[in-house]
Amino acid sequence: MDKALHCTMGELLGSIAERFENQDALIYADRGLRYNWRQLDEETDRVARGLLQMGLGKGDHVAIWASNVPEWVILQFATAKIGAVLVTVNTSYQSAELEYLLQQSDAKALFMVGEFKGTDYLEIVHRVVPGLQQGKAACAKLPKLQTVAFLGDDCPAELLSYAQIRAGADLIEPARLAQVEATLDEHEVINMQYTSGTTGFPKGVMLTHHNVINNGFNIGRCMDFNSLDRLCIPVPFFHCFGCVLGVMACVTHGAAMVPVEVFEPLQVLKTIILFIQLAKLQMQYKDIEKEINGILQMVKLPMMET
């Protein structure tokens, strides 16, 4: 590696947001959801302040058990901005595997969706963490776990909603988040990913800001990424293929992320075709604009600006 980036995740996102402020950062084609880089940086700041309001902070372990929903990317950066360690949970886990990971990782909070491919996550969580009340956990088997939060609409009454966490950001001044970020170091751990466990119990691999940023940066260099590129990401975020070689390869080069929430071949093809069509329309518009400007120049009228 002949070149390395030396920054934290928050510093990286802030720098990219300054350079490519109004360019696309995160797009969910099927949801009609689109963030530019400035909006993504601001949203991760808001959620980071919400996490601080929850009582989470530097060094705390925060597990996420979800498909490739938008909140996954937001939390990836929000947890890093407060120095918390994001613990990725395999979406195929069942009760025993989830309990093992939460216990072994010393997770203080769990963020989750309601289901995945027919597996009822809520039913599993009620078995693993009985007695939940408004997101507060008190389980003898998981003494470190304090909060279980829900990602998405229709949050069950026994869980803490993501909307409540965002709203809690209003109680935390931006200056406090800035103070927290100033204490962070690029070589501190901010991500824990578990091995598959094929030859024994899964083991948590600890990754730093420096690790995930530069892994993504060099993959992006190999792919010759730039800020005009868009990457369809159908692979799961819980794996390094998704959250590092996908997300971080894009972020380090200002390329737009276009995730697919759950891998379906047809949905991936639809997403790719949609952006091919949009690119063609943009090219056609530029050709038309060039012709119009040529005519305007001939008659000495002001040229079009896009």
- pTM of the full predicted structure? 0.88
pLDDT at residue 195, rounded to an integer: 84
- Spell out the domain ranges in the chain: 9-263, 264-306
Beta strand extents in 29-98 (DSSP E only)? 33-36, 61-65, 85-88
pLDDT at residue 301, rounded to an integer: 47
Which tens digits make up the pLDDT trace of 207-262?
Answer: 999 999 999 999 999 999 999 999 999 999 999 999 999 999 999 999 999 999 98
CA gap 274, 39 in Å, rounded: 23
Instruction: Name the pLDDT band for 157 (thresholds 50, 70, 90).
Output: very high
Interval 134-157 mean pLDDT: 95
CA gap 108, 56 in Å, rounded: 8
Q: At residue 193, does pLDDT exceed 80? A: yes
pLDDT at residue 299, rounded to an integer: 52
CA gap 169, 177 in Å, rounded: 10
Which tens digits make up the pLDDT trace of 46-92?
Answer: 999 999 999 999 999 999 999 999 999 999 999 999 999 999 999 99
pLDDT at residue 274, rounded to an integer: 76
Q: Which CATH class is domain 9-263?
A: alpha beta
pLDDT at residue 196, rounded to an integer: 78
**Residues contacting 136, CB < 8 A, separation 6+:** 146, 147, 160
